[in-house]
Amino acid sequence: MSYDPAPSANCPVRAAQYLRMSSENQRYSTENQQNAIAEYAQQHGYEVVSSYIDAGKSGLSLKGRDALRQLLSDALCPERLFEAILVLDVSRWGRFQNPDQAAHYEFLCRQAGIKVVYCAEPFGEDVAPVTTIVKHLKRVMAGEYSRELSGKLARAKRQQAELGFRQGSRVLYGFRRVLVDPSRNPKQYLEDGERKALSNDKVVVVPGPPEELEVIRRIFQMYVRDEVSINGIARCLADESIRGHAGKLLTPAMVRTILSSELCIGRMTYNRTVHRLQNPVMKNPEHAWTRFSAFEPIVPVALYAKAQERLARHKLWDKETIKATLKKLLAREGYLKQKLIEQAKDAPSAETVAAHFGSLYAAYEAVGYRPPPVSPFGNNGKHWSKKDITSGLRKLHAAHGYITNRLVNKCDFLPSDNYIRRHLGSLASALRQAGLPVIPHSQVQKRSWERRKSAGCDEYYHGVRWTDARLLRALGRGFLRFGILLSSDS
């Protein structure tokens, strides 16, 4: 049974006050709330014994509102020091997009015997059915206010971006923000953390110092012409002590951002992503982007296009893109498995899929695919005895003169190499048990190289494959980085 305390003139009800303001610019908001609550408490027999304040916190959700979390926790504690919660109005409790969420938190408090009183609302602490309806409408209106305000701000920012004005603070390395008046006359450069003071002033982006623009051109040339990796470019710039904002070295993520930014060809872009009402960040389709030609290109457009082509071949995958790719692959092939994913040109590697979802089976589940059950035995669900495996190995050795994991996996009369290792310890152990010679790994590499050489291949295999062209590119990158090439006996 819940306890509903009644205020008394002789014994005031102990209450906690909850204060919230959504912006640091609302300097006096909490003071105004506190004064209004104090006046209400004096008139209605409450004594404020504790305060919970969320300063500069959005009311859209419980995220980041540590004071409200603590208040709810204390309200459900039997040893609490208060019997009521005083809030200025419904919007201070929260502007939840689902009004039932606000009602749920209030219900938890009332069920624990704590009244939630809205001091500036006409219904105050009344719990009559009509009051409940009005309170629910107030919750809906509070959430709708945030939704409408978000839409208006998004439209206004998009319109300003279409006129070529910068929306946001920090800009890319190599560029600067300039404060301009309504006639676009420049007033001053804005440093990091600075913002305009007058609503009539606007901000535009201009190219930065020539030395920084030269670094941007070098980054594109190294990435496109010399085929240096993004990590390699970042290391080269770090070796030269080239620094960006706040004196920090250019990281691989910053280099990637430079390579993909249309500012490098003189175009400002806006509305590439959408993030409203604390929902997850979503990518907008390209036709929804806002573009504005602000200045002359820093790098040739053709060079920028080639960089985008290479970035597309080595693009960063996110969960949504991977899911869409797997769904397309499933619709095309009718099934999913590791080998199929690795062979698909438009899909990420199986390792990337597993890294994002935890495992391939989790990824399959995310796209609604249920793979057939895996047999606990071997190929075709058959149980392979030790005799079957050793005789198959002898047959395979007689046909080829050697045995490798690749040959085993291609063989129809043997289980997979994983199955052999799981049941016989290792492939080498299985070969010994079959009475076959076990060749050292160095000899395996040597024989593999000899087979490729006899087939006319120009590759040398020593852990990785090196073609002549690839070796020349690697030497070129080494020369760019160190300015000199030396042999091991120099």
pLDDT in tens, the chain (490 residues): 344 455 555 688 999 999 998 875 565 588 889 999 999 999 999 999 999 999 888 888 888 899 999 999 999 998 899 999 999 999 999 999 899 999 999 999 999 999 999 999 888 777 788 888 898 899 999 888 888 888 888 888 888 888 888 887 678 898 999 888 888 888 888 888 788 877 788 888 899 999 999 999 999 999 999 888 888 888 889 888 888 887 888 888 899 999 999 999 998 888 877 777 777 777 788 788 888 888 899 999 999 999 998 888 776 778 888 999 999 999 998 889 888 887 787 788 787 888 888 888 889 999 999 887 655 444 555 678 888 889 989 998 888 888 888 888 888 788 888 888 888 888 888 888 888 888 776 676 777 767 666 655 544 444 445 666 777 777 877 777 777 777 655 4
Displacement of CA 98 from its chain's centroid (Å): 25
Residue keyed to tokens 């993909």 = 260
Domain annotation covers residue 290: yes
In terms of residue numbers, what domain contains 288?
175-313
340 shares a domain with 237: no
pLDDT of residue 457: 54
179 shares a domain with 132: no
DSSP tag of 300: -
Domain annotation covers residue 66: yes
Return d(Cα 425, Cα 391) in angstroms, integer: 17
34 shares a domain with 122: yes
Question: What CATH number is given to the structural domain containing 31?
Answer: 3.40.50.1390
Per the CB < 8 A criterion, the answer to whether 392 and 408 are in contact is no
Sign of CA dihedral 25, 30, 35, 39: positive
Return d(Cα 400, Cα 416) in angstroms, integer: 18
Tokens of 343: 């062979």
Per the CB < 8 A criterion, the answer to whether 461 and 219 are in contact is no
Domain annotation covers residue 450: no
Alpha helices, H only, 202-359: 210-224, 230-239, 252-260, 301-313, 319-333, 338-343, 350-357
| Domains held by the chain: number | 3
Displacement of CA 3 from its chain's centroid (Å): 47
Residue keyed to tokens 């036709």 = 287
Domain annotation covers residue 186: yes
Domain annotation covers residue 288: yes
Domain annotation covers residue 424: no
Three-class SS of residue 222?
helix
Return d(Cα 368, Cα 12) in angstroms, integer: 60
Last residue of a domain, one of 127, 147, 167: 147
89 shares a domain with 28: yes
pLDDT of residue 454: 66
> Burial, 119: exposed, middle or buried (Cβ in 10 Å; 0-12, 13-18, 19+)?
buried
Domain annotation covers residue 406: no
45 shares a domain with 23: yes
Tokens of 29: 């908001």
Q: What's 140-182 look like in SS3?
A: HHHHHHHHHHHHHHHHHHHHHHHCCCCCCCCCCCCEEEEEECC
309 shares a domain with 323: no
98 shares a domain with 75: yes
Three-class SS of residue 35?
helix
Residue keyed to tokens 């001091």 = 119
Return d(Cα 336, Cα 365) in angstroms, integer: 11
333 shares a domain with 272: no
